[in-house]
Amino acid sequence: PVCVRSDAFLQIFTLAMILIGFSQFQCYLKPWRAGVCNAIDGLLGSFLVALLLCAVMAVEVDANQQAFTVIGTLVLVGMFSAALWAMVVACYKVFRPTPFYNMFLCHHKLHAAGQVRLIKSVVTKTTSKTVFIDSDDLVDLDTLFDTVKTRVERFVIYLTSATLTRAWCCGEIVSATWSKLAMTKVHTASFVAPTTSQLHNLDVYVNQEGSSLAHYGMSLTAVAVSLNRLLAEDVPVIKIDRTVSGSRKFFNVAHSLIARNHEAHPSLVGERSILISASRENDEAVSAAALFAIKFRDAVMNSSDIGMWCMPDHFEDLGECTAILEGCHSVVVLLSAATLKSREELCFVADAMA
C-alpha cells in the first residue's frame, strides 16, 4: 500500500525519517564488534539522507504549504523538546547520580580482595547500605574516578603493605580528596606509612606501569597532597585487632564501619558438620573460609542436623580439628600459598582422607 500518494514533499520527508530512524536504531544495537565499524555504519546512513536531500534540490517539487508548515513546526518542537529532555536528564544525573554507593572500599586486590569482599558482605547483609568494590561493581575503568567523585558518600581505604604504591588506588584517593568525601582508614598489620623521602619521590614509590594518572589530569603533586591528607591524624582510623582470632577481626571492622557494636560471631554447629580448613596465618585464606561459610550457611541450616565448623574461627590449632574428624559430614580444604608447605596442614589433609 502507498501511504503518501500525491504530496512529493511529504514523500521525501517520510523517506528521510525512515532512513534516519533505521540508522539510529542500527547504532543503538551496535551490530559490529568494533566501535569504529558501528560509527561508520551510522555515517553511511547519514550520507544516504544527505544524498536524498541533494536529489530533492535537483528537481522541482510542488510542496503542499500546509503540510510543509505542520511538519516544520513538529520538527522544531521535537528538536527543542529533545534538547530540553537532554538537559533535564543531565542535571538529574549530576545531582542524583545512579547507582549511588554509601561506601567505596579502596584496596589492593593482590593482598586484600577476600578481606574486602567479606567486609562488604557483612555490611550489606546487616544494613541497607550499598558498597562499591571494583571486582563487583566496576563496569568501565575509565569511569572509576568519576564514580568516586560523584556517586560515593564515604571513602574507605583498606591499607595493606602495597596499597599506596598502586596507581589506581592513588587515583581513587585523589578523587576522594578533590570531592571532599568523608574518609576512613583501615590499618592492617602489614601497612607501613610512606616516609617523607618516599612522598617526595612518588615517581619511584608509585607503580604506574600499565596506568598513567596524568592521563586523568592527576599530577604527582596532587597525589602527594592527597596522601598527606589521608595520612593526617584527623582522618578516622580503624586498626585490625590481631589478638582476635579468625575472621572475627574482619567482622569487627565491618561493624565499626557501620557504627554497630561488635556482635557475636555467627556460627552453626551440629552433630554432623562440614569442616572448613584454612591457614590461620593467611588473612586471605581466613576471609575465603568465612565467605564460603556465609554463602552456604542458608543451605546448611535447611539440612536437618548438619552444621558447620570454620577452623580459623573455632579451633586454635589443627590438632583440635583432627580430633573431631570422625564426626564430620565432609571436609573442605581451602588451598592458599603456604598450605602445601606446612607439615601440620599436610598431616591434617592426610588424616581427613584416611
Task: State residue 252's pLDDT score.
Answer: 92
Task: State residue 123's pLDDT score.
Answer: 93
Residue with cell 580503624: 238
Residue with cell 504530496: 7
What's the chain's length in residues?
354
Task: State residue 159's pLDDT score.
Answer: 95
- Residue 258: CA count within 13 A, CB half-sphere: 23
Q: CB atoms < 10 A from the CB of 60, how many?
A: 6
* Cis peptide bond N-terminal to 99, omega within 30: yes
Chain segment 238-262, per-residue pLDDT in tens: 999 888 888 899 999 999 998 876 5
Give the max Cα distance, the chain. 98
Task: State residue 119's pLDDT score.
Answer: 95
Looking at the DSSP bridge assignments, the partners of residue 104 are: 132, 155
CA-CA distances (angstroms) from residue 100 to 18, 127, 131, 146, 172?
39, 15, 9, 12, 16
Pick out the chain residues at pLDDT < 50. Answer: 268-270
Chain segment 141-184, per-residue pLDDT in tens: 888 898 999 889 999 999 999 999 999 999 999 999 999 999 99
Q: CB atoms < 10 A from the CB of 128, how many?
A: 7
Residue 274 to residue 269: CA distance in whole angstroms: 9
Task: State residue 184's pLDDT score.
Answer: 95
Task: State residue 303's pLDDT score.
Answer: 55
Grid cell for residue 343: 607439615
Contact yes or no for 173/226 (Cβ under 8 A): yes
Q: What is the bridge-based pairing of β-strands 154-159 and 131-132?
A: unpaired
Task: State residue 17's pLDDT score.
Answer: 81
> What letter does residue 275 receive in the DSSP assignment?
E
Grid cell for residue 350: 592426610
H-helix or E-strand containing 169? helix 167-178
